[in-house]
């Protein structure tokens, strides 16, 4: 008979105190995680700890669907971008040994790197502020992702791309920066990145289930990775692990990740001063914080500072989060590309551990009051957000983008549906604070007016006349369907409900877009105009 660690702890607890915080937390974790991972599908392993004590260690779902292998707590997963903290610590270790400086121009180690008039420092690579274009977003990346490349060949993919911006001017997440860091580690040490990480961190720290991943290598307890397809699952697309390299090619289980964080806290990896800097938000030249340090993102859970990182790679989604104040650690490793939001899961777990769970409850609010929050708001970073009352719901979105529902939970307080984010408005409605698991962002009203949109009922027989196919020129075929008394617009697999608000005019329920149907003198539908960051015309295809 098998018992989980938490079952044993709860048994011990019951002998001394029938109601304890740790057992209540375990039940909360079980409730949250069993709802997130299906029994018969790809799964996950979760480890939760406080200081040196493991509080919860449990597996969910399947490690291999074809062989019907249950997930176990010691299974090994690709880490994706969680790799970056290991790369950052390797650079900081070399800096402590005097072998490089974070302010070194990268040409000290890669002399032929272009843009010699722009100083690109090692620190700018660590903080994603270098301006070097992200190679995983380039067309050539798709062409080579099944091929094994050397670090130099990998750098050649993006070497001659123009910089996206002046180094140090902006934050823009770039895997290329961490590829360059891995290449620099090899130039400085004379060892491969994989060998250096293994000899410097994995072996000394006893991380015996941590690896530089390789598809052809036999890795004990390796979980298989999956992707969604047609409502089911398929094996993840092949990816040569030479391509993520120092930006995302490591693999590990939850136990070794916990060892890693304990070693970091104990000063076994880098100095306490360097660790504090690595886990603090970098500040741009303009004084703005980026929410990212060296290999770690910074954020908060219910107002308490947290350092964290998420990894997304073919077949896997991972997240590790740490709350320094109480030394709380959470790792979630999943073998499915479409796994639940791992950052949200780790944040929810930390909130439970802190006894401050995210429990938003909708508070009734009359339509007139909801409409009083409408407007256009400018965020700290210059982005504009629109808040509009639409068919009984208050929606929050950027122009032309997907809409998110704002749900009231208190006076002047809303949470964004299916998220942990909240908006707290000023009493005069001239601004708000957006609280998230990152750092707070302020929004200020521009004074622009927004018109509420109400659903105007249209008989099904009249809706039917809009159904059909419409051809954008240039562009795809847009199909309008009537289903269960509602109109939908669809391109490919993307289907959105269309809500009537005026004669022949519809707005998309979950997208900032509108459709105006064009009519001839006989009141026949001849085409449509799509309004979404501009206008597009489509003619009706005759059947």
Query: Each residue of 402-424: b (16+ CB within 10 Å) or e?
Result: ebbbbbbeeeebbbbbeebbbbe
CA angle 23, 28, 32 (to 5 degrees): 150
Q: Which residue has the tokens 């090899």?
A: 186
Alpha-carbon distance values, 434 to 378, 383, 423 (Å): 12, 13, 5
Q: pTM (2 decimals)?
A: 0.89
pLDDT value of position 22? 65
Establish whether domains 78-353 and 367-445 are of one fold: no
Give the whole-angstrom CA distance, residue 235 versus residue 187.
36
Q: How many CA atoms lie within 13 A of 87 on its CB side?
A: 37
Give the whole-angstrom CA distance, residue 93 versus residue 99.
9
- Span 385-398, mean pLDDT? 97
Q: Which residue has the tokens 């299916």?
A: 418
* CATH fit for domain 367-445, picks 3.40.50, 2.40.128, 2.30.30, 2.60.40: 2.40.128
Q: Write down the number of H helices and E strands in the chain.
A: 13, 29
CATH code for the part of the protein at 78-353: 3.40.710.10
Q: How many beta carbons lie within 10 A of that of residue 219, not counting itself?
A: 14
Bridge partners, residue 516, by sequence: 505, 529
Give the whole-angstrom CA distance, residue 437 versus residue 297.
10
Q: What is the DSSP letter of 336?
A: B
Q: What is the pLDDT of residues 475-511, one digit of tens each?
A: 899 999 999 999 999 999 899 999 999 999 999 999 9
Q: What is the pLDDT of residues 346-368, one digit of tens each?
A: 999 999 999 999 999 999 999 99
Do the Cβ atoms of 41 and 336 come closer than 8 Å?
Answer: yes
Give the whole-angstrom CA distance, residue 236 versus residue 338.
11
- Higher pLDDT pick, 69 / 25: 69
Do the Cβ atoms of 308 and 287 come closer than 8 Å?
Answer: no
pLDDT value of position 543? 77
Q: Exposed, middle or buried: residue 251 (CB in 10 Å: 0-12, 13-18, 19+)?
A: buried
Do the Cβ atoms of 78 and 225 come closer than 8 Å?
Answer: yes
Q: Where are the domains positioned within the chain?
A: 78-353, 367-445, 460-540
241 pLDDT above the threshold of 90: yes
Residue 212: partners with Cβ closer than 8 Å, 6 or more residues away: 193, 194, 197, 198, 241, 249, 250, 251
Give the whole-angstrom CA distance, residue 216 versus residue 213.
9
Give the whole-angstrom CA distance, residue 27 versus residue 483.
41
Q: What is the percent of the chain with per-residue pLDDT over 90, rounded to a whole number?
A: 92
* Max Cα–Cα distance, the chain, nearest Å: 83
**Chain centroid to CA 355:** 25
8 φ/ψ angles, rounded to the nearest 5 degrees: -65, -45
Helix (H, G, I), strand (E, B) or coil at 370: helix
Residue 220: partners with Cβ closer than 8 Å, 6 or more residues away: 76, 209
Among 235, 223, 252, residue whose Cα is nearest residue 70: 223
pLDDT value of position 24? 80
Give the whole-angstrom CA distance, residue 473 versus residue 272.
60
Torsion, Cα of 377, 379, 381, 382 (10° steps): 10
Architecture of domain 460-540: Beta Barrel (2.40)
16 pLDDT above the threshold of 60: no
Q: Which H or E run contains 347?
A: helix 342-353
Give the whole-angstrom CA distance, residue 192 versus residue 186.
5
pLDDT value of position 23? 73
Q: What is the pLDDT of residues 397-437, one digit of tens each?
A: 999 999 999 999 999 999 999 999 999 999 999 999 999 99
């Amino acid at each position: 008979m098998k018992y989980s660690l938490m079952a044993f702890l709860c048994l011990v607890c019951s002998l001394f105190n029938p109601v304890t915080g740790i057992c209540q937390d375990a039940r909360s974790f079980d409730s949250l995680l069993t709802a997130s991972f299906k029994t018969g599908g790809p799964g996950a392993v979760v480890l939760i700890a406080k200081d040196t004590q493991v509080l919860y260690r449990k597996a969910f779902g399947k490690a291999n669907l074809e062989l019907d292998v249950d997930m176990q707590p010691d299974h090994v997963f690709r880490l994706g971008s969680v790799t970056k903290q290991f790369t950052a610590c390797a650079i900081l270790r070399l800096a402590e040994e005097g072998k490089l400086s974070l302010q070194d121009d990268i040409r000290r180690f890669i002399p032929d790197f272009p843009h010699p008039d722009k100083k690109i420092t090692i620190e700018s690579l660590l903080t994603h502020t270098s301006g070097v274009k992200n190679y995983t977003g380039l067309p050539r990346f798709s062409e080579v992702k099944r091929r094994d490349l050397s670090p130099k060949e990998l750098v050649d993919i993006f070497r001659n791309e123009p910089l996206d911006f002046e180094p140090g001017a902006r934050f823009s997440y770039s895997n290329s920066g961490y590829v360059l860091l891995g290449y620099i580690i090899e130039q400085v040490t004379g060892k491969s990145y994989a060998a250096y990480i293994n000899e410097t961190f994995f072996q000394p720290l006893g991380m015996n289930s941590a690896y530089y991943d390789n598809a052809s290598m036999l890795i004990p307890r390796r979980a298989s990775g999956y992707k969604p397809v047609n409502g089911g699952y398929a094996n993840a697309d092949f990816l040569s692990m030479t391509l993520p390299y120092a930006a995302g090619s490591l693999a590990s289980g939850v136990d070794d990740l916990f060892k890693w964080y304990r070693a970091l806290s104990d000063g076994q990896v880098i100095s306490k001063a360097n660790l504090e800097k690595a886990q603090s938000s970098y500040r741009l030249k303009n004084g703005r914080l980026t929410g990212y340090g060296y290999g770690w993102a910074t954020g908060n859970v219910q107002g308490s500072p947290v350092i964290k990182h998420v990894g997304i790679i073919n077949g896997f989604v991972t997240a590790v989060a740490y709350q320094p104040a109480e030394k709380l650690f959470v790792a979630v490793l999943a073998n499915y590309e479409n796994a639940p939001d791992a950052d949200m899961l780790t944040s929810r777990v930390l909130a439970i551990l802190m006894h401050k769970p995210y429990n938003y409850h909708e508070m009734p609010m009359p339509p007139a009051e909801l409409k009083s929050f409408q407007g256009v708001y400018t965020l700290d970073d210059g982005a504009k957000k629109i808040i509009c009352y639409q068919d009984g719901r208050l929606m929050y979105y950027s122009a032309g983008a997907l809409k998110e529902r704002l749900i009231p939970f208190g006076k002047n307080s809303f949470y964004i549906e299916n998220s942990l984010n909240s908006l707290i408005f000023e009493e005069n409605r001239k601004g708000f604070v957006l609280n998230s698991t990152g750092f707070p962002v302020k929004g200020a009203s521009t004074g622009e007016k927004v018109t509420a949109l109400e659903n105007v009922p249209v008989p099904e027989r009249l809706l039917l006349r809009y159904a059909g196919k419409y051809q954008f020129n240039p562009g795809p075929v847009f199909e309008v369907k009537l289903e269960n008394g509602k109109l939908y617009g669809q391109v490919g697999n993307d289907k959105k409900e269309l809500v009537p608000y005026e004669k022949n005019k519809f707005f998309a329920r979950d997208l900032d877009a509108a459709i105006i149907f064009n009519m001839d003198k006989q009141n026949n539908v001849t085409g449509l105009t799509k309004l979404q960051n501009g206008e597009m015309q489509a003619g009706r295809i005759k059947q």
